[in-house]
Amino acid sequence: MSTDTAPLTDLRVPQEVVDLVFRDARTVNTFAEGEVTDEQVRAVWDVVRWGPTAMNSLPLRLLLVRSPEGRERLVAHMNEGNKAKTQRAPLSVVVAADLDFHEQLHRLAPHVPGARDNFAGVADVRARWSRDNAFLQAGYLIVGLRAAGLHVGPMTGFDAPGLDADLLAGSGWRSLMVLNVGTMPADADGTPASHPRQGRLDFEDVARTI
Amino acid sequence: MSTDTAPLTDLRVPQEVVDLVFRDARTVNTFAEGEVTDEQVRAVWDVVRWGPTAMNSLPLRLLLVRSPEGRERLVAHMNEGNKAKTQRAPLSVVVAADLDFHEQLHRLAPHVPGARDNFAGVADVRARWSRDNAFLQAGYLIVGLRAAGLHVGPMTGFDAPGLDADLLAGSGWRSLMVLNVGTMPADADGTPASHPRQGRLDFEDVARTI
């Protein structure tokens, strides 16, 4: 396990980009004042949508929580330890998977004739497919938000069925994660912007070769 | 839906990095000759391991398939349409989730006392947790491989239970995806390096605001 941040030379991107997106990026709980605009999120989406998904199915969906009423409803579903930081985040985004992603496959995967119809009758396959691929896209999304200079605090500690029945009612969207998003974190009134960094597994811990 | 690639100005990273990792990157099926080294994959891991996961649980595991014997065994589990390209890829990587990720939590999440023990008795929770978070990390991994100048061909078309019972026998690893990895794709002997690019959903297709 390692906590080092020695510079690498094998990547084709500038070291400062690697630092911005991965090495120096932290899960942030306290943000500076100031809005995160639709234009910022749209710019991120316009990049990360090019990331690969199975059959180009793109099941990721985003519910941007902006209104005071929406925020109250969201906070009510968060675990106790996630309520305060979600209450004061500049923007909270419910990251969801769309069970009805197959309705777009005639546009997204015209190279797979009949894909939409083949998925129509297998809701259990769609549930797993959409969850898998939306989590994959969530990885692209977090990278993209950080590449835009935004800071994120991803959370899975919330009542997902309760949130879905409330905020996502009437849709095929199923919540996976809530992201608090903002700009430059501040160590305001004694609350640290993020926790101390934990270690990570080394290559030898995670990789085998046959 | 859009297929445009108009430049963006809102990101904090150079346009050529955005192009390398997202806009110009393609799912690649034919690669140039030449090895992908452990050092290249290690350099990518050393960056992408810093991406956030729930409770810093890092369940992603990688089986690097290098030997001719290993490749034959892998190819046997691939769907028919994925066999030839996996046969000739410079490196194939089985991307897996470790059901036993909780065994590392005393090191990775010392801020959550008892986490390892709490997960020990709930294999169904660990199965979902490890799959969700490993797919999230797979998103970081694909970004990182591309940032290293490598090209990837991700595939989910294979017999996962069969692969697990063979290549991952005796471990808690469960396969999620197979990545073919290589360098500069070539349009060799009439086989296109990748399929024509498909469109993507627009921001309005995937985002709602409350």
Long-range own/partner contacts, residues B37-43 (CB < 8 A, 24 or more apart)? B38/A203, B38/A209, B38/B64, B39/A10, B40/A10, B40/B148, B40/B150, B41/A203, B41/A207, B41/B91, B41/B93, B41/B181, B42/A203, B42/A207, B43/A8, B43/A10, B43/A11, B43/B148
How many residues are listed for chain A in this entry? 210
Q: What is the pLDDT of residue A17?
A: 82
Question: In the beta sheet, which residues pair with residue A95?
Answer: A62, A177
Chain centre to alpha carbon of residue B96 = 9
Nearest to B107 among A1, A135, A141 (CB): A1
What mean pLDDT do residues A83-104 have? Answer: 96
Q: What is the pLDDT of residue A14?
A: 80
Residues of B within 8 A of A104 (CB-CB) are: 201, 205
Q: How far is Cα A118 from Cα A121, in angstroms, rounded to an integer?
A: 7
Q: How far is Cα B194 from Cα B202, in angstroms, rounded to an integer?
A: 23
- State pLDDT tens for residues A101-138: 999 999 999 989 999 999 999 999 999 999 999 999 99
Mean pLDDT score across all residues of chain A:
90
Quick count: other Cβ atoms within 10 Å of Cβ A5?
A: 15
Return per-residue pLDDT of chain B as tens, 210 residues.
Answer: 655 544 445 677 888 888 888 888 877 778 888 889 999 999 999 999 999 999 999 999 999 999 999 999 999 999 999 999 999 999 999 999 999 999 999 999 998 999 999 999 999 999 999 999 999 999 999 999 999 989 999 999 999 999 999 999 999 999 999 999 998 655 555 555 667 788 999 999 999 999
* Contact call for B207 and A45, based on CB within 8 A: yes
Chain centre to alpha carbon of residue B183 = 16
pTM of the predicted model, to two decimals?
Answer: 0.92
Return the residue in B93, B200, B205 with the most chain A beta carbons within 10 A, the one to mutate for interface testing. Answer: B200
Q: Cα distance from A169 to chain B (closest Cα, Å)?
A: 13
Q: What is the pLDDT of residue B16?
A: 82
Coil vs helix vs strand at B143:
helix
Q: How far is Cα A168 from Cα B162, in angstroms, rounded to an integer?
A: 37
Q: What is the pLDDT of residue B21?
A: 82
Q: What is the pLDDT of residue B6?
A: 46
Q: Is the pLDDT of residue A7 over 60?
A: no
Question: How many CB pairs lie under 8 A apart between chains A and B?
Answer: 245
Choice between B8 and A193, residue whose per-residue pLDDT is larger: A193
| ipTM field | 0.92
The H or E element spanning position B39 is helix B38-48
**Among B209, B120, B113, which residue's Cα sits nearest to residue B172?**
B120
Residues of B within 8 A of A50 (CB-CB) are: 22-23, 25, 200
| CB-facing half-sphere around the CA of A83: CA atoms within 13 A | 9
Helix A68-77 and helix A80-88, axial crossing angle in degrees, nearest 10: 160
Q: What is the pLDDT of residue B8?
A: 47
CATH of A36-183, one of 2.60.40.420, 3.10.20.340, 3.40.109.10, 3.90.550.10: 3.40.109.10
**Among B111, B6, B83, which residue's Cα sits nearest to residue A27?**
B111
From residue B29, give the alpha-carbon distance in Å to each of A149, B36, B66, B123: 33, 15, 17, 36
Q: Cα distance from B48 to chain A (closest Cα, Å)?
A: 6
Q: How far is Cα A144 from Cα A41, in angstroms, rounded to an integer?
A: 9
* Contact call for B17 and A14, based on CB within 8 A: yes
Q: How far is Cα B22 from Cα A13, in angstroms, rounded to an integer?
A: 13
- State pLDDT tens for residues A25-79: 877 778 888 889 999 999 999 999 999 999 999 999 999 999 999 999 999 999 9
Residues of B within 8 A of A45 (CB-CB) are: 203, 206-207
The domain ranges of chain A are 36-183
